[in-house]
């Protein structure tokens, strides 16, 4: 209801997989609907009125954007309450003013005026996002409320949003082009020694371009500002060779990885502690998720309103019997 099929079909990784994966049948809901599942995974751990950011690499940005659109659509559809005064004539002037702002609600056949008015404003809120919609209503915002809503996720990119693998392709364990935390210093040196570099720099005397070199991307992650400057200048002026550039980067990577590897070893020695950390995180995550599910149920089914109605009607019955 809130996710048109076309949104899922245009996800770049979906189209890419169809072009590249020939040995599997990808015509399944699981594959197509994966972004909806991912959206639920993201949003279920959001807290009301707290900005929600997802730390991702550059290649995942479009997925988070789709999640934002799905959430926006959900909020517009389920989390906007339009005041009755806008269709029962009590605030006819305000309704006309809102039409000036948002355009005219198209009349749908077989639908009541009340339904048309609500659909129209919800549609506008879905298109522009509930926050933007409410802001645009200005002094007429009193006619709209949003009892509960999901947070729209945003991306959190680091200054190195795309880390290439040793071979320059996207880093992936399945491509065998990554360095893991458990690798020895010797292995790190061996692997980084054969990393691809700026392909246009054929000879030691050729100036290179660090901006297209995976080794320089790794320098940005692990090296000090001085080394970073040394690599950029040395590369552009052919003052340094790729072998020494890689060796220096490996030095910094090894220094960076040492304490992380040590922590990993400690956890490996104490698996019970790992379980404690996982259980503690799960419990905290579950508390947040339960609250989110509560808000979603309220938005979709209006349980609290129903409960109040039932409570009130029960009280009335008791009062009559008394
Ligand atoms: S000198 Fe360094 S940054 Fe330049 S191409 Fe060689 S490895 Fe890459």
- Higher confidence at residue 209 or residue 171? 209
Substitution site in 192, 204, 216, 227 for ligand 1 pocket (most atoms within 8 Å of beta carbon): 216
**Dist CA 222 CA 38 (whole Å):** 31
Determine whether the shortest distance from the Cβ of 201 to ligand 1 is under 6 A: yes
pLDDT, residue 75, reads 85
pLDDT band at 271 (very low <50, low <70, confident <90, very high): very high
Region 71-75: mean pLDDT is: 87
**pLDDT score recorded for residue 49:** 77
Give the residue with greater pLDDT, 85 vs 320.
85
Structure confidence at residue 19 (pLDDT): 75
Q: Is 129 in the pocket of ligand 1 (CB under 6 A)?
A: no
Which of 8-22, 75-89, 223-237 has maximum average pLDDT?
223-237
CA angle (115 as vertex; 295, 120 as ends), nearest 5? 80
pLDDT confidence of 129, banded at 50, 70, 90? Answer: confident
pTM of the complete model beyond 0.75:
no
Looking at every residue in the chain, the average pLDDT score rounds to 88
Task: Please state, in angstroms and rounded to a whole number, the distance separating the CA atoms of residues 275 and 236.
Answer: 49
- Ligand 1 test: best mutation among 197, 206, 217, 248, most atoms within 8 Å of CB? 197
Q: Is the CB of 232 under 6 A from ligand 1?
A: no
214 CB within 6 A, ligand 1: no
Least confident of 30-34, 248-252, 314-318: 314-318
- 230 alpha carbon, distance to own chain's centre: 36
Q: What percent of the chain stands above pLDDT 90? A: 51
Which range is least confidently modeled, 60-64, 240-244, 261-265? 60-64
Q: How far is the CA of 162 from the centre of ligand 1 (A)?
A: 17
Burial of 209 (0-12, 13-18, 19+ CB in 10 A): middle
Query: Quick one: pLDDT at residue 321?
Result: 63
How far apart are the C-alpha atoms of 180 and 178, rounded to whole Å? 6
Does 138 score more than 70 pLDDT?
yes
The residue ranking higher by pLDDT, 248 or 310, is: 248
């Amino acid at each position: 209801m809130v996710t048109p099929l076309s949104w899922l079909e245009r996800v770049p990784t979906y189209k890419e997989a169809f072009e590249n994966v020939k040995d599997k049948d990808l015509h399944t809901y699981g594959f197509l609907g994966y972004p909806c599942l991912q959206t639920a995974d993201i949003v279920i751990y959001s807290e009301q009125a707290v900005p929600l950011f997802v730390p991702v690499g550059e290649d995942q940005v479009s997925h988070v954007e789709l999640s934002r659109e799905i959430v926006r659509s959900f909020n517009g559809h389920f989390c906007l309450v339009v005041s009755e005064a806008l269709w029962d004539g009590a605030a006819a002037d305000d309704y006309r003013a809102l039409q000036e702002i948002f355009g005219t609600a198209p009349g749908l056949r077989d639908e009541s005026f009340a339904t048309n008015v609500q659909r129209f404003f919800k549609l506008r809120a879905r298109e522009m996002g509930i926050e933007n919609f409410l802001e645009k209503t200005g002094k007429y915002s009193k006619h709209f409320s949003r009892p509960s809503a999901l947070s729209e996720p945003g991306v959190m990119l680091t200054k190195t949003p795309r880390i290439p693998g040793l071979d320059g392709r996207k880093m992936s364990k399945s491509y065998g082009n990554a360095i893991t935390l458990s690798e020895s210093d010797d292995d790190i040196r061996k692997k980084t020694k054969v990393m691809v570099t700026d392909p246009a720099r054929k000879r030691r005397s050729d100036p290179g371009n660090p901006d297209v070199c995976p080794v320089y991307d790794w320098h940005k992650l692990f090296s000090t500002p001085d080394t970073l400057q040394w690599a950029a200048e040395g590369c552009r002026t052919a003052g340094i060779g790729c072998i020494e550039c890689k060796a220096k980067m490996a030095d910094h990577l090894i220094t960076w990885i040492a304490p992380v590897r040590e922590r990993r070893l400690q956890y490996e020695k104490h698996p019970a502690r790992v379980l404690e950390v996982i259980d503690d995180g799960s419990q905290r995550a579950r508390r947040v998720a339960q609250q989110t599910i509560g808000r979603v149920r309220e938005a979709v089914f209006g349980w609290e309103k129903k409960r109040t109605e039932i409570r009130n009607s029960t009280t009335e019955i008791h009062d009559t019997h008394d």
